[in-house]
Structure 1
Amino acid sequence: MDENIPLNISDFFVAGINYKKTDAETRGQFAINNDQYNIILEMAAAKNIESLFILSTCNRTEIYGFADSADDLVSLLCTQTTGTQQVFNKLAYIKNGVSAVEHLFNVGAGIDSQILGDYEIIGQLKKAVKFSMDRGFINCFMERLFNCVLQASKTIKNSTELSSGSVSVSFAAVQYIKRALVPSDTHKILVIGIGKMGSSTCKNIVDYLSGSQVTLINRTEEKAAGLAAELGMNYAPVEELTDYISSSEIILVATNASAPIVLKEHLVNKGDKLIIDLSIPYNVEPGCEELTNVTLVNVDELSKMRDDNLQKRQAEMPKAKAIIESHISVFLTWHQMRQTAPALKAVKTRLSDIYVQHFAETQVNSGKCSLNNAEGKIQRVVNDMAGKMKIKNECGCHYLEAINEFILAVAN
């Protein structure tokens, strides 16, 4: 993509589904893993869609990008989902232009999260954008927008109480465990999967469930070993997963597998189990909750927990929204300046040509205007034109006006 070509903001779309209209099972049908993400980007290039990224978390799947229509993006996304495009369109929200920009700011700030003020979403957003950027699918508009979203999120976190306390799905999971179980120093906890969600869950376990015996199992054993050493936990190879499922009383599943990895057969007659499935799609086999010895909780149920800090965080919403509005204004100003830059450059070049062709020799010889003064007058006229275009973008009218103003300025 030629980065010098101004982009029309109305061609920027977001299409997505989230927890507001879908349950976790439905969202799982539209979850995207990295392999699927990569295929979508390859297909996008073939369709001349050159800038997009996909945010797929436990409470949303969204595709952002530049296209002729949102349907172009949705059709790409749904080539890799078990859910159909027809179902997605029925449940989806679609925004474009400034509305899409505002939506991304709200998502990045945790305002649109299932748990208000969720601080994990910004890390998930960083990961999603980086994946696309590393493959050349983030243009200058989206890079600048994402950086502004990061700045707004940081300002909100540092200057408001929107994320007061620990606010995240992983924190809610650990708090659920803490409330559900009789205090004990001998809880045997198994954490399966230590990506972003799993790692955060482990750190919350250290902070709020000290004394528990925690074992980590991950597809990449070296990664499990590293985190276990950092946090003072145990780890085991994935080949021993069945044994550890049997012996653990609390199981946290934070994997990103395409099919369940905790099966009903693993749990039958294996003692009481509390299983928290943080995965989308579910990575605990359907029907496990029917076992009398199993309590199974998913992300939607976690979001319904009593939240002692919710009222306090809700009171911070006006401050957070004001910060977002300020950063959106800065971004839109940058975008408008980028759109007008070619026209302003053309005017500056044309005014320089007019001066050289019609005024330079007589003005300099008469002492009325030096070359430096002429350049200063040209720049003042261009700056004035830029100011007028910010108010009303009528390039042709301002172009003629700028030439007239310059001619008068030089002649006088």
Structure 2
Amino acid sequence: MQVSHSKEIANFHIVGINYKKTDAAIRGLFAINPTQYQQLLARAKSDELNDLFVLSTCNRTEVYGFASHPDQLIELLSKETIGERSHLDEIAYIKSGEEAIRHLYQVGTGLDSQILGDYEIIGQIRSAAKFAKSHNSLGGFLERLVNSVSQVSKLIKTETGLSKGTVSVAFATVRMIEKICPDIKHKKIVLVGVGKIGRNTCKNMIEYLGVKEITLINRTLQVAADFAEENGLRYAPYEQLSEELAKADVILVASNAPHPTVLPAHFTTSAPKVVIDLSIPFNVDPAVKELPHVTMVNVDELSKVQDETLQNRLGEVPKALSIIEEHMEEFLYWHKMRKHAVVLKAVKDKLQEIHTREILQQKNGDHYNLEDIELVSSRIIQKMINLMAGKVRKEAEKSDQYIAMINDIFETGVNQD
């Protein structure tokens, strides 16, 4: 399907789903992993959609980009995920133009997060945009917008109290472990998946809980080995997953597999275990939750962790919104001036063309002197006037507007009343 669209703000859309209308299981149906992301960008290019990126986290999957109609972005998402298109049509939200731009600012600053003030989301946005750029799918508009959102996120974090308290999934995990396992320092912990969320959760446990009895397991062994060396932890090859899970008291799963990798068969003993699934889609089989000796928690349940700083952070929202509006206005002004710059360059090129043609015509003579140069200059000026006059005559209904604009641009001082 070939499509065409201009880069007007009205053609900038965001389509997606998030925690507000869907639970973690449904979000898993429309989650995008790196392979799917690459395929989606390739499909987008074949449809002439070449300025977009996809944000897929535990709380949301969203496509931001230019299209003649947002349905094209919904189609892209449905083609690369395992969920049904009809289901996506029912639950997806669509925002366009300035509303879509404002939404990205609010997502990037944690105002739209399941945990208010989530400061990890901006890193995920930057990573998503970087991935799209590496595949030549991020244009100047979106790159500038993501940079602006990143700056605003940093500003809100330093100038407001929005990010003070339990403001990330990784930190909420620590709070949940504190509640379930007050003697966590004496427990054996296994972390499956050493991606960004896994690393952040691990660092928080070390810093806030003082635990060091953590074994890292990752499909790429070197990733686990490097992180283990940096933090004085133990690691094990993925092939020993069953053995390590059997020995663990607390299991954190932050892997990125398309299907569950932690199964009921891994829990053959009756030893009590706490399992926390930070993955979307779930990487722990839902049947594990039915085992009597297993306490299981997923990302939606983590967002309900009691947070005594929430009321204080809610009071910071108006200040954060004000900062967003100020910087969004600056971004929109940049976009407007960018369009004008294109027109002004075209005008300059046109004038240069007239100038070059007249100079060459004069040089074709035997010789030229000062009087000839003055003659050439007069001809150039007259041709510019002829261009404007011709347009005014052709567009009779708009002639007054054109003359008023020319009068204003050149500041002639002529009173037209």
Show the counterpart of 2:117. 117
CA distance in structure 2 between the aligned counterparts of 1:115 and 1:235, rounded to whole angstroms: 30
| Alpha carbons of structure 1 residues 353 and 221: separation in structure 2 relative to 1, 3 Å | closer
CA distance in structure 2 between the aligned counterparts of 1:207 and 1:13, rounded to whole angstroms: 40
Show the counterpart of 2:294. 294
Q: Deviations over 1:263-318 (max 9, x none)?
A: 00101324111000000000001211111000110000111111111111111101
Are the equivalent residues in 1 in contact too, given 2:30–2:81 (CA < 8 A)? yes
| Alpha carbons of structure 1 residues 28 and 61: separation in structure 2 relative to 1, 3 Å | same
Query: Which residue identity does 2:299 align to in structure 1?
Result: V
CA distance in structure 1 between the aligned counterparts of 2:236 and 2:157, rounded to whole angstroms: 36
Show the counterpart of 1:188. 188
1:103 matches 2:103: yes
Structure 1 residue 34: Cα displacement: 0.2
Show the counterpart of 1:84. 84
Show the counterpart of 1:60. 60
Query: Which residue identity does 1:15 align to in structure 2?
Result: V
| Alpha carbons of structure 1 residues 397 and 308: separation in structure 2 relative to 1, 3 Å | farther
Show the counterpart of 2:33. 33
1:309 matches 2:309: yes
| Alpha carbons of structure 1 residues 179 and 146: separation in structure 2 relative to 1, 3 Å | same
CA distance in structure 2 between the aligned counterparts of 1:397 and 1:158, rounded to whole angstroms: 52
| Alpha carbons of structure 1 residues 165 and 225: separation in structure 2 relative to 1, 3 Å | same
CA distance in structure 2 between the aligned counterparts of 1:396 and 1:295, rounded to whole angstroms: 77
Runs of at least 5 residues in structure 2 that lack an aligned partner in the other structure: 359-369, 385-397
Structure 1 residue 342: Cα displacement: 3.2
SS in structure 1 of the partner of residue 126 of structure 2: helix
| Alpha carbons of structure 1 residues 408 and 125: separation in structure 2 relative to 1, 3 Å | closer
CA distance in structure 1 between the aligned counterparts of 2:247 and 2:168, rounded to whole angstroms: 28
CA distance in structure 1 between the aligned counterparts of 2:165 and 2:305, rounded to whole angstroms: 15
Show the counterpart of 2:134. 134
Please give the TM-score of this superposition, normalised by the length of structure 2: 0.85
Query: Which residue identity does 1:70 align to in structure 2?
Result: P
Are the equivalent residues in 2 in contact too, given 1:351–1:403 (CA < 8 A)? no
Are the equivalent residues in 1 in contact too, given 2:166–2:309 (CA < 8 A)? no
1:164 matches 2:164: yes
Show the counterpart of 1:341. 341
SS in structure 1 of the partner of residue 292 of structure 2: coil
Query: Which residue identity does 1:283 align to in structure 2?
Result: N
CA distance in structure 1 between the aligned counterparts of 2:400 and 2:35, rounded to whole angstroms: 51
CA distance in structure 1 between the aligned counterparts of 2:175 and 2:160, rounded to whole angstroms: 23
Query: Which residue identity does 2:303 align to in structure 1?
Result: S
CA distance in structure 2 between the aligned counterparts of 1:208 and 1:46, rounded to whole angstroms: 48
Show the counterpart of 2:328. 328
Instruction: State the superposition RMSD in angstroms.
Output: 2.8
Superposition map of 1:127-276 within 5 A? 127-276=127-276
Are the equivalent residues in 2 in contact too, given 1:188–1:212 (CA < 8 A)? no
Query: Which residue identity does 1:115 align to in structure 2?
Result: I
Query: Which residue identity does 1:172 align to in structure 2?
Result: A
- Which protein shows a greater Rg? 2
Structure 1 residue 404: Cα displacement: 3.4
Q: Deviations over 1:168-225 (max 9, x none)?
A: 0011011101111132532100000011100101101111221441000011111111
SS in structure 1 of the partner of residue 296 of structure 2: strand
Structure 1 residue 347: Cα displacement: 5.3
Query: Which residue identity does 2:406 align to in structure 1?
Result: I
Q: Deviations over 1:10-62 (max 9, x none)?
A: 11110000000000000000000000001111111111111111000000000
CA distance in structure 1 between the aligned counterparts of 2:411 and 2:26, rounded to whole angstroms: 67
* Worse-superposed segment, 71-80 or 180-189: 180-189
Show the counterpart of 1:13. 13
SS in structure 2 of the partner of residue 258 of structure 1: coil
CA distance in structure 1 between the aligned counterparts of 2:339 and 2:399, rounded to whole angstroms: 14
CA distance in structure 2 between the aligned counterparts of 1:214 and 1:351, rounded to whole angstroms: 70
| Alpha carbons of structure 1 residues 138 and 341: separation in structure 2 relative to 1, 3 Å | same
Show the counterpart of 2:406. 403
CA distance in structure 1 between the aligned counterparts of 2:275 and 2:260, rounded to whole angstroms: 13
| Alpha carbons of structure 1 residues 405 and 204: separation in structure 2 relative to 1, 3 Å | closer
Structure 1 residue 402: Cα displacement: 3.9
Query: Which residue identity does 1:133 align to in structure 2?
Result: K
| Alpha carbons of structure 1 residues 218 and 398: separation in structure 2 relative to 1, 3 Å | farther
Structure 1 residue 165: Cα displacement: 3.3
Are the equivalent residues in 2 in contact too, given 1:219–1:238 (CA < 8 A)? yes
Are the equivalent residues in 1 in contact too, given 2:49–2:67 (CA < 8 A)? yes
| Alpha carbons of structure 1 residues 402 and 256: separation in structure 2 relative to 1, 3 Å | same
Superposition map of 1:369-408 within 5 A? 400-405=403-408
| Alpha carbons of structure 1 residues 136 and 399: separation in structure 2 relative to 1, 3 Å | farther
CA distance in structure 2 between the aligned counterparts of 1:89 and 1:396, rounded to whole angstroms: 48
| Alpha carbons of structure 1 residues 68 and 314: separation in structure 2 relative to 1, 3 Å | same
Q: How many residues align?
A: 379
* Worse-superposed segment, 275-284 or 78-87: 78-87
SS in structure 2 of the partner of residue 251 of structure 1: strand
Please give the TM-score of this superposition, normalised by the length of structure 1: 0.86
SS in structure 2 of the partner of residue 236 of structure 1: strand
Are the equivalent residues in 1 in contact too, given 2:14–2:95 (CA < 8 A)? yes
| Alpha carbons of structure 1 residues 403 and 296: separation in structure 2 relative to 1, 3 Å | same
CA distance in structure 2 between the aligned counterparts of 1:346 and 1:285, rounded to whole angstroms: 60
